Structures are given as structure tokens and as C-alpha cells.
Amino acid sequence: MVSLGRWQLGCLAAAVFVVSAGYGALMPVLPAWLLPLMPADDKAEVARHVGLLSGAYTAGLLVGAPLWGMISDRVGRRRILLIGLVGYVLSLLPLLWPEWTGLAGIYALRAATGFFVAAVVLVVPALVAEYTPEDRRARRFAWLGAMSLLGFLFGPGLNAVASRLSSALTDAGAGSYAATDLVILLAALLGGLMMLGLAASLPSDLAPTLDVEQAGGETDDKRRAIALWVLNGVVMFVLAGFELGIVLQGQQHPTLSSREISLMFAECSLVMLVINAMLFFTGLLERAAGRGVLAAGLVLAIAGLAMLALHRSDAWMYVGVSLTAAGTGLVLPTISFLAAGASRRRLGATMGGLASAAGFGQTIGSAATGWMFGAVAQTSFAWLALPLLATLALLLVRPARWFAQDAAPAPQLSLRSRPSGPSQEP
């Protein structure tokens, strides 16, 4: 069994990009789906359903991630990945007829999309971990993280492409097509292309190889997995609260315009991209101890949140956003890299647990931050730093639960000889 080639890795990264872009592209068109089903001018009702539909998508991720992870450990990753992409495409197409599906149908379809996306976002890193030589694993995980971020950034741009395409088709006399329908078709088309690309590029023998566990090894593996799940959930709880807090700052600071809030979101994404690029080109995760990288990231995030809690000017707020984004952007890829050291017997379940914990943390973080900002306003950023402080203390006091795999890396499946020097191949 050989390691993943560049073409195979490119298709896997593209699959992550496509489902991330699909989420970012479809969220802005949710009101257009709902308006025909709502009473006239009932904007409050539409806004409420948009929020609930976002929760339905997250619920699908929460349910699907652990389930797909356990199944992929038993039947193989390739099959589950293709099922996830097929389900993703099939759950999008009925949205072209919202009047036919009805409101309940839209909720079911968004939950189904999240359920099938879960298969993609956990199987792809599991495959990369399982079929990558150790000296390239950190770079490839950093690259996957960058592709996910790029997908979220590209998603809203898909709406602009759909609008231009709609105008072009009308001008060409090809008929009138709603931009919202074209967004759905483009997202489904990209998903279908990824499905065909992966079906052609991934060999059918990509199936899990069960390793022989040493005495006590399976118990230690489970403990480390649970610790990483908790850490991932905590960081995503804080990240979701941090992002919602940026939006709510417009109510606290009248001088902060919607344009500046959008710039802060763009800044957050760009800083995370820079961090992923740094991890890719420097191979930091391969050279530094995981404990130190995580601790540094947590310190940066805590400092950024403290600055946001105390800032009195927009300039300092930009600095706080950058520090928080840099810290979380450093921690999240490191968690995934450490989780990749799990035994292949539990790799899918471990990755599924990470995705599920992230979704749970995101959901609770958004709800809790909305309540906190209503109660203590800007000071909420300081309260968000407390879970990170507690995690940092636990990380420093009980490192053995997190980093036993640093001393004994997981055995590799690749039959390719390791290069003598550092390689920039992803």
C-alpha cells in the first residue's frame, strides 16, 4: 500500500474546499428560500428561521461525525467519502423547489447536508493521516486547514459568480434564471466534480489496516482522544463566541460600522491563513513539541481576548482580533495533527469525535455569548478567556494525557522510503 500522491491529495483538499465554499455560499441565500413560505414582510420570522436552519446544519454535523467515523474504521474510508459527497449533492438539489419541499423539507435538507458533509470533513484528514509519511504529515494538515479557510472565503464569491451568470444567460437569450438557483447548481456541480475526481483517483483498496495494540495502548489512545476532543470543543466554543462578539460590538460602539466589522472578519480569516502557511512552510509541528505549540497558541488567544475586553479604540480592537485569530489558528491544526497519531483502529472515530466536539462547542459558544453580551457587554471577551486559561493550566500540569504520542510516533503505512532532507511537497 503506497502513500497518497499529489493528485490524490489535491482531490482530497479540493473536497474540503468545496464543502466549505458550499456552506459559505448557501447561507446568504437562505432568506430567498424562505420568503415564498413566510407571510408578507415578516422579516423577524425569516431571521429566526435562518438562525434555526444554521442550527439544523450543525446538528447534522454533530450526529454524522461520530457515526461516519466509526463506520469508516470498519468498511474503509474511500466508500464513506464518496457516500458523503453523493449525499451532499443530493441534499442540495431539492432546494431548487422550496415551494415543493416546504419549510419542514428545507430544515430536513439542511440537516442532511450537515450530516453528509460530516463524512467529508472527518474522512479526508483521516485518509491524510493514515497514508502520509510522518515527515510530511504536519505540512499536509496545515494545507488542509488552509483549503478549508479558503473555501469559506470563496463561498460568498460564488453568489457574485451566480449573479453574473444569471445576467449573462438573460442577455444571451437563454432564459431567466434566479441567482439563488444558480448558486445551488454551482455548489452541487462542484460537489459532483469532486465525487468523480475522488472516485477516479483513490484506489479501491484504501481500507483500514488494523494495528496490533500493546497492553494498555488502547486505553491510553482513548484517553488522549477524549482530551483532544475536549480541547477542540473548548477552542471552538471560544472561537464561535469571539466571532459573534465581533458582530455584537456594533451595538456597543456606535462608531463601528458594518464595513469595519466585515473587515475584522476578513482579518481573522487572513491571519489564520498566514498561520497555516507558516505551519506548512516551516514544518513547525514536526520540529517543535506539541505541548509548546498549543501553549503558545492559547497564550496568544488569551492575550487577544483580554485586549478586546479592555479596548477603548477601534485600532486596539484590530490588534485583539489578530492575536485571537493567530492563537486559535495555531491551536486547531495542532489538535488535528496530534489526533492523527491515534491508532488506525480508532482513527476514524477520533477524527469524528473532533468534528463533533467542534460542532458542539460552536453551537454552545454562540448561544452563551449572545446571553453574556446581553448581561455584561464587552466584558464577555474576558469571560471567554477563562476556558482557555483553565485548559492552559491543565495542559501544563498534566501533559502526559496529550503528548504520549510525541515520544512514539504512529507507525506508517507508506512503503515509500523517507527522503534524506526536508521536502516542500504537500
pLDDT tens track for 127-181 = 888 887 777 777 788 788 888 888 887 877 787 788 888 888 887 877 777 778 8
Highest mean pLDDT (candidates 146-150, 310-314, 330-334): 330-334
Across the chain, mean pLDDT equals: 79
**pLDDT score, position 94:** 92
Percentage of residues in the chain with pLDDT exceeding 70?
A: 82
Question: Are 103 and 34 spatial neighbours (Cβ–Cβ below 8 Å)?
Answer: yes
Whether 176 and 239 map to the same domain: the answer is no
Whether 274 and 360 map to the same domain: the answer is yes
Whether 106 and 246 map to the same domain: the answer is no
Residue 34 covered by a domain: yes
- 101, HSE (Cβ side, Cα atoms, 13 Å): 18
**pLDDT score, position 341:** 73
Whether 224 and 351 map to the same domain: the answer is yes
Residue 344 covered by a domain: yes
Burial class (CB in 10 A: 0-12, 13-18, 19+), 153: middle
Whether 198 and 300 map to the same domain: the answer is no
**pLDDT score, position 204:** 65
Structural domain for 299, as ranges: 216-409
Could you report the per-residue pLDDT of 352-382, keeping only the tens digit for each? Answer: 888 888 888 888 887 787 777 777 777 888 8
In the 8-state DSSP scheme, what is residue 408? Answer: S
Question: Are 343 and 221 spatial neighbours (Cβ–Cβ below 8 Å)?
Answer: yes
Whether 125 and 80 map to the same domain: the answer is yes
Whether 200 and 253 map to the same domain: the answer is no
Buried b (16+ CB within 10 A) or exposed e, 123-149: bbbbbbbbbbbeebbbbbbbbbbbbbb
Least confident of 130-144, 316-330, 393-407: 393-407
**pLDDT score, position 180:** 81
CATH code of 303's domain:
1.20.1250.20
Cα separation, 401 vs 395, in Å, equals 9
Whether 46 and 88 map to the same domain: the answer is yes
Residue 416 covered by a domain: no
Whether 11 and 156 map to the same domain: the answer is yes
* Number of structural domains in the chain: 2
Question: Are 334 and 285 spatial neighbours (Cβ–Cβ below 8 Å)?
Answer: yes
Whether 224 and 153 map to the same domain: the answer is no
Question: Are 387 and 398 spatial neighbours (Cβ–Cβ below 8 Å)?
Answer: no
Residue 211 covered by a domain: no
Question: Are 317 and 308 spatial neighbours (Cβ–Cβ below 8 Å)?
Answer: yes
Could you report the per-residue pLDDT of 52-73, keeping only the tens digit for each? Answer: 787 788 889 889 988 998 898 8
Residue 421 covered by a domain: no
Query: In sequence order, what are the residues at sequence separation of 6 or more whose Cβ sits closer than 8 angstroms to the Cβ of residue 83?
Result: 116, 119
Which residue, of 205, 236, 271, is where some domain finishes?
205
Listed residue (327, 317, 326) closest to 264, CA to CA: 317
Least confident of 34-38, 41-45, 261-265: 41-45
304: cell is 487577544
**pLDDT score, position 47:** 67
Question: Are 362 and 236 spatial neighbours (Cβ–Cβ below 8 Å)?
Answer: yes
Least confident of 36-45, 183-192, 219-228, 239-248: 36-45
**pLDDT score, position 219:** 63
Question: Are 331 and 274 spatial neighbours (Cβ–Cβ below 8 Å)?
Answer: no
- 76, HSE (Cβ side, Cα atoms, 13 Å): 10
Listed residue (398, 402, 416, 383) closest to 331, CA to CA: 402
Could you report the per-residue pLDDT of 377-395, keeping only the tens digit for each? Answer: 778 888 999 999 999 998 8
Give the CA radius of gyration of the chain.
Answer: 22
Give the CA distances from residue 305 to residues 259, 368, 373, in Å, rounded to whole numbers and listed in that order: 21, 16, 14
Q: What is the largest CA-CA distance in the chain?
A: 71
Percentage of residues in the chain with pLDDT exceeding 90?
A: 21
Decide if pLDDT at 85 tops 90.
yes
Residue 425 covered by a domain: no
Whether 249 and 192 map to the same domain: the answer is no
Residue 423 covered by a domain: no
Crossing angle for the helix pair 314-339 and 258-282, to the nearest 10 degrees: 40
**pLDDT score, position 210:** 42
Cα separation, 85 vs 81, in Å, equals 6
Residue 420 covered by a domain: no
**pLDDT score, position 117:** 94
Decide if pLDDT at 90 tops 70.
yes
Banded model confidence at residue 252, pLDDT cuts 50, 70, 90: low
**pLDDT score, position 44:** 65
Name the pTM for this structure.
Answer: 0.74
Question: Are 353 and 253 spatial neighbours (Cβ–Cβ below 8 Å)?
Answer: no
Whether 389 and 337 map to the same domain: the answer is yes
410: cell is 504512529
